[in-house]
Structure 1
Amino acid sequence: MRYEITKKFKFEAGHRVWKQNLMAGKGAKLMGNEIPPNPCLNIHGHSYKLEVTVGSDTLNEQEMVIDFYHIKAALKDLIDNQIDHSFIIDKNDPLYPKFKEDFGFLKLFIVDFCPTAEAIAKFIYEFLEKKLEEAGLLEDIKIVSITVWETETGKATYKGEK
């Protein structure tokens, strides 16, 4: 892409990475003999930051890739009304039935994936891609990347299929 723009968002949400096991997977060999806790198994929350980068090889009649306002509008309902101040929970999480039954007063954002930063980035990518497709804009505008910051020092980026 010759031109790229990035729009930033913020939202607050809780989650639980119910699949976390620091003693298994690719990184386990980096642990040595240390037996770590699995803190993300616990219910916790973040002040998330989201960066949405889109691009195009050409500019529109207003000499823009797309107006920042239009990116904000495409994601406004999802971010502001659905995810913000919610508890993001995987419907496959063993605790989901209990949450649904005992905590019906909570604002749940139910997904079908373990809500890691990587998976949330992919989810938002696919959501925005569908919005752009429905608007007939995917020919001119491509999503370059979606980056989800969980903390000031930890982020995940999804760039889609190449």
Structure 2
Amino acid sequence: MRYEITKRFKFEAGHRVWKQNLSSGKGAKLMADEIPPNPCINIHGHSYKVEVTVGSDKLNEQEMVIDFYHIKSALKDLIDNQLDHSFIIDKNDPLFPKFKENFGFLKLTVVDFCPTAEALAKYIYDFLEDKLREAGLLDEIKVVSVTIWETETGKAVYKGK
């Protein structure tokens, strides 16, 4: 892409990384002999920061890739109405049935993946790509990447295909 723009968003949400197991998988080889706890299995929350980058090889008639307002508008429902101040839970999480039964009065965002920062970045990427496709803009404007800052020191980036 010759031209790229980035729009930032923020939202507050809780989640649980129910698949976390620090003592197995690729990363376990980096640890000492001690077996640490798996803190992200617990229910917790973040002040997420999201950076969405879109690009095009040519500018539109207003000499823009697309107006920042249009990117904000495309993501408003997802970020402001669904994700913000919700609990993001995987419908495959073993706790989901009990959580839904006992805490169904809470604002839940039910997804079909373990809500890690990486998976949430892809989720937002796919959502925006679908919006651009529905508007007939996907030939002109591409989603370049979605970056999710889960903490001040930890981010995940999804760049797509």
TM-score class normalised by the smaller sequence: over 0.9
Output the CA distance in 2 between the equivalents of 1:41 and 1:160. 27
2:69 aligned partner? 69
1:149 aligned partner? 149
Deviation at 1:34, TM superposition (A): 1.9
Unpaired runs of 5+ residues, structure 2, are none
Output the CA distance in 1 between the equivalents of 2:140 and 2:34. 50
Output the CA distance in 2 between the equivalents of 1:60 and 1:132. 15
Which runs of 4 or more aligned residues in structure 1 lie more than 3 Å from their structure 2 counterparts after TM superposition?
none
1:15 aligned partner? 15
User: What RMSD over aligned residues (CA atoms) do the two structures have, in Å?
Assistant: 0.5
- Residue type of the partner of 1:14? G
Deviation at 1:44, TM superposition (A): 0.0
2:106 aligned partner? 106
Note the alpha carbon deviations across 1:110-152, whole angstroms, 9 max, x for none. Answer: 0000000000000111100000000000111011100011000
The TM-score, its normalising length taken from structure 2, stands at 0.99
1:92 aligned partner? 92
Note the alpha carbon deviations across 1:83-111, whole angstroms, 9 max, x for none. Answer: 10000000000000011000011100000
Deviation at 1:17, TM superposition (A): 0.1
Paired positions, count:
161
Deviation at 1:65, TM superposition (A): 0.2
Output the CA distance in 1 between the equivalents of 2:155 and 2:49. 9
Unpaired runs of 5+ residues, structure 1, are none
Output the CA distance in 2 between the equivalents of 1:24 and 1:61. 53
Output the CA distance in 1 between the equivalents of 2:144 and 2:104. 37
Output the CA distance in 2 between the equivalents of 1:34 and 1:2. 48
3-state DSSP class of the match of 2:130?
helix
- Residue type of the partner of 2:112? D
1:28 aligned partner? 28
Output the CA distance in 2 between the equivalents of 1:35 and 1:95. 24
The TM-score, its normalising length taken from structure 1, stands at 0.98
Deviation at 1:35, TM superposition (A): 1.3
